[in-house]
Amino acid sequence: MNNAVAGFSKLSKTEKINWIAETYFSNAEEALTIIRNYWNSDEKLQQLHDEFIENTITNLYIPLGIAPNFLINGKYKTIPMAIEESSVVAAASKAAKYWASRGGFKTTIIDTEKIGQVHFTYSGDSEKLHAFFDRIKPKFFSETQSITKNMQQRGGGILDIKLKDKRSLLEHYYQLHATFETKDSMGANFINSCLEQFAATLKEEAQNEKLLADGEKLEVIMSILSNYVPNCLVRAEVSCPIEELAEKHITNPQEFAERFLQAVQIAEIEPFRAVTHNKGIMNGVDAVVLATGNDFRAVEAGVHAYASKNGQYASLSHAKIENGIFSFWLEIPLALGTVGGLTSLHPLVKFCLEILENPSAKELMEIVAVAGLAQNFAALRSLTTTGIQEGHMKMHLNNIINQFEATDEERYLIKAHFKKTAVSHSAVVEFIENLRKQTK
Ligand code: MEV
């Protein structure tokens, strides 16, 4: 079957959903019902969502959960998390409560610098280019004035612009490497607008200043921000005397602290483990990034690049035991915004930011880093004590129950049974099937 379609974006929404239903589903009516079931009954709200992207046909829901009791720098925070993975919010809440009675989380903003680059090629003399750059550098600032005016009023703007010679990596390749402070906005639009103006200025001034001799060329390849922001960095930490680590599953705190430390050390030296270890951190990070309307793909890309900054992919978190004190911390780059973008457009994002008491971008960086550290702590605690499956399967039980559309009575019986018995997918399915046979 040829499923190509011309001019899809120009079709009406009804035409689009009909095309999808008829092209890909044997029961088109059923497909249309699924699509419509996820439409918001408030037409205005649905239209808002329709307009976020092109070709919206419906909405894909992800649960929005709440992890309370996060004591961060002496203040309690309730953290909204948007995530589909069943155990994440439960783990975050548990870790929050655990550390709240052990001094809570401490955070520090290390820096907030963002980066953007104009990538270009130049075939002439390098010294001539450097001298030209030094002469025209003020123009990059003056000609972006209309873009930077508001940002400057908020205390941000362009921090610096450097010319970088990259010819050892690629023939004729240079960059304008610019750094920015974007205050409470993530700054993507601001940075990209500045960069495109830098590129225009570069080309124009090359002509004005007669930079190019016969046969020489200067070509702008592209202008774009970098999602690698190693100097937009936040640190989150927990620590306490080893004996205070004790609780139900930690009967020997010294042994626990040592095993925990070894688990972190393994992730520091073994990339296969480091990736999974960091994935656990990102369970917390992404969930808050998403709930607050930030760009989780940008955060993911930047964080994983940072995890490889020493040439080998490694753990983002670290631990130590010193003078009887257990400390556990992470440092991650986070380019986040609490103004602009979805933050005021999406009613639920606005709602989440309100739960977080309308944080500044710096405060949001701290909260997100804490969510990542809490998640990492919860995962390592389970992994080094009971194993991860106990908690996971308990949460997974709900998913299986839902999949079988269990009645309230069945639900009660299944939950009672699996309180005492190990949960596995096949065991739950068998139990439900037996239950249904008996009641036939
Ligand atoms: C699962 O989503 C995350 C973990 O695999 C993280 C880890 O292994 O540290 C449990």
The DSSP line for 226-241 is ES--TTEEEEEEEEEE
Q: How far apart are the first and last CA of the chain?
A: 44
Task: Give, using CA atoms, the residue closest to atom 10 of ligand 1.
Answer: 379
- Please state, in angstroms and rounded to a whole number, the distance separating the CA atoms of residues 309 and 288: 24
- Please state, in angstroms and rounded to a whole number, the distance separating the CA atoms of residues 112 and 126: 32
* Residue 311 CA to ligand 1 centre (angstroms): 23
List the chain pLDDT tens, one digit each, 440 residues: 679 999 999 999 999 999 999 999 999 999 999 999 999 999 999 999 999 999 999 999 999 999 999 999 999 999 999 999 989 999 999 999 999 999 999 999 999 999 999 999 999 999 999 999 999 999 999 999 999 999 999 999 999 999 999 999 999 999 999 999 999 999 999 999 999 999 999 999 999 999 999 999 999 999 999 999 999 999 999 999 999 999 988 999 999 999 999 999 999 999 999 999 999 999 999 999 999 999 999 999 999 999 999 999 999 999 999 999 999 999 999 999 999 988 989 999 999 999 999 999 999 999 999 999 999 999 999 999 988 777 677 778 888 898 899 999 999 999 899 888 888 888 999 999 999 998 77
- Please state, in angstroms and rounded to a whole number, the distance separating the CA atoms of residues 294 and 342: 7
> What was the pLDDT predicted at 1?
65
Task: Work out the burial of residue 10: count CB atoms within 10 Å of its CB; fewer than 13 is exposed, 13-18 middle, 19 or more buried.
Answer: exposed
* Residue 329 CA to ligand 1 centre (angstroms): 17
> What was the pLDDT predicted at 307?
98
> What was the pLDDT predicted at 335?
98
* Residue 320 CA to ligand 1 centre (angstroms): 21
Catalytic residues: 85, 279, 295, 392
Which of 265, 283, 376 has most ligand 1 atoms within 8 Å of its beta carbon, as the pocket-test mutant? 283
Task: Work out the burial of residue 231: count CB atoms within 10 Å of its CB; fewer than 13 is exposed, 13-18 middle, 19 or more buried.
Answer: middle
- Please tell me the pTM assigned to this model: 0.91
Strands 75-82 and 325-333: unpaired
Site residues for ligand 1, CB cut-off 6 Å = 85, 276-277, 279-280, 283, 379, 383, 388
The three-state secondary structure class of 437 is helix
Name the residue among 341, 365, 52, 290 with its Cα closest to residue 187. Answer: 341
- Please state, in angstroms and rounded to a whole number, the distance separating the CA atoms of residues 95 and 314: 23
Collect all residues with Cβ–Cβ distance below 8 Å to 232 and sequence separation of at least 6. 111, 112, 113, 114, 333, 334, 335, 365
